[in-house]
Amino acid sequence: MITVLSGGVGAARMLRALRTHIPAEDLSAIVNVGDDLVLHGLTICPDLDTITYTLTGRNNEVLGWGLQGESWRVMEQLGHLGGANWFGLGDLDLATHLYRSQRLAEGATKTAVTGELAQRLGLDIALWPVSDDPVATTFDSEIGPLSFQEYFVRHHHQVAVRAVHFAGAESATLTTQTQRALSTAERIIIAPSNPLISIGPMLAIAGLREELQRRRQDVVAVSPIIAGAALKGPADRLLGELGYEVSCVGVAQYYEGLIGTLVIDEVDADLADRVAATGCAVRVTTTIMSDASHAAALVRAVLA
Ligand code: GDP
Ligand code: CA
């Protein structure tokens, strides 16, 4: 079993690449729930949905999120009614949130509902929310406290952050499925997801950090920071604002003691010694999954 600690887009791309090289039954993803929100009475799980949509070939490559062939009639009408429409929910995507919310209201766990949606949509890998308990990422920012989606979507992550919190993480527990996916994994991969807000919320739940420390030699992370910048999103800016170096060295510092190996990009080869000085092995390869051959090179590096 290969188990991948996953955020959204970066993780979905890593999982899609891995899936072309290893059988579905040997691949599982443990997924961040810190971005999850309740809006219009609906429970929305962006990272779980991004992975499900991407691995079943449904993701909207133009937007970078949501579904292909999407329409927005509900949002338009909601706008006419004066409802909150700053968080885009397409007409087809809404069906996912309606289904999930109804099942949760009936008492199903997030783990169970995720499995049901995955099965109906034809996802063939195991997808596990890290916890069935609520964990909410929040920010202390220059304009005051912000929820995750206020920061990410409403303010387009363009405000300075002083601290990140994971509300609920102190009392949340890992699910038995998450624990099993970790204990049965011969390799644990930390996807090139945002360390601070995609992987960080999971590390804040009791047991995960300890398990990675214990299994450290089997843990391989991929840097989402290449040449000092994230390909997309605020990983670079948040690293700097929260006191880490904005480079793959900062990623290595954030994961210090938790990983046996960090995979960094060729363009950062000159930083390999400084990454190694944090106490992990370093693999240098092409890490941008721009096409199948580049993705294959990264897969070889994480599985080597
Ligand atoms: P989100 O939850 O949708 O924001 O996505 P993640 O946290 O999973 O991933 C966001 C990170 O993925 C960004 O910091 C990107 O730099 C990184 N990323 C996206 N595509 C790639 C890629 O092809 N290679 C690498 N190394 N990083 C990537
Ligand atoms: Ca996310």
Give 283's pLDDT tier (boundaries 50, 70, 90). Answer: very high
pLDDT at 143: 98
Closest CA to 5 of 162, 163, 215: 215
Classify burial at 133, counting beta carbons within 10 Å of its beta carbon; exposed 0-12, middle 13-18, buried 19 or more: middle
The Cα 196–Cα 101 span in angstroms is 28
Tell me the average pLDDT of the chain. Answer: 97
* Cβ of 266 less than 6 Å from ligand 1: no
* Cβ of 193 less than 6 Å from ligand 1: yes
pLDDT at 162: 98
* Cβ of 192 less than 6 Å from ligand 1: yes
Beta-carbon contacts of 138 under 8 Å, excluding residues fewer than 6 positions away, are 145, 146, 147, 148, 164, 165, 166, 167
Beta-carbon contacts of 128 under 8 Å, excluding residues fewer than 6 positions away, are 28, 29, 30, 31, 111, 114, 175, 177, 178, 181
Give tens-digit pLDDT for 225-247. Answer: 999 999 999 999 999 999 999 99
Domains of the chain with bracketed CATH: 2-140+167-303 (3.40.50.10680)
Rounded distance from Cα 47 to ligand 2 centre (Å): 5
3-class secondary structure per residue, 248-291: HHHHHHHCCCCCCEEEEEHHHHHHHHHHHCCCCEEEEECCCCCC
Give tens-digit pLDDT for 141-176. Answer: 999 999 999 999 999 999 999 999 999 999 999 999
* Cβ of 49 less than 6 Å from ligand 1: no
Tell me which ligand sits closest to the C-alpha of residue 29: 1
Classify burial at 44, counting beta carbons within 10 Å of its beta carbon; exposed 0-12, middle 13-18, buried 19 or more: buried
Give tens-digit pLDDT for 17-65. Answer: 999 999 999 999 999 999 999 999 999 999 999 999 999 999 999 999 9
Give the helix/strand (H/E) hosting 196.
Answer: none
* Cβ of 59 less than 6 Å from ligand 1: no
Tell me which ligand sits closest to the C-alpha of residue 148: 2
pTM of the entire predicted model? 0.97
pLDDT at 94: 98
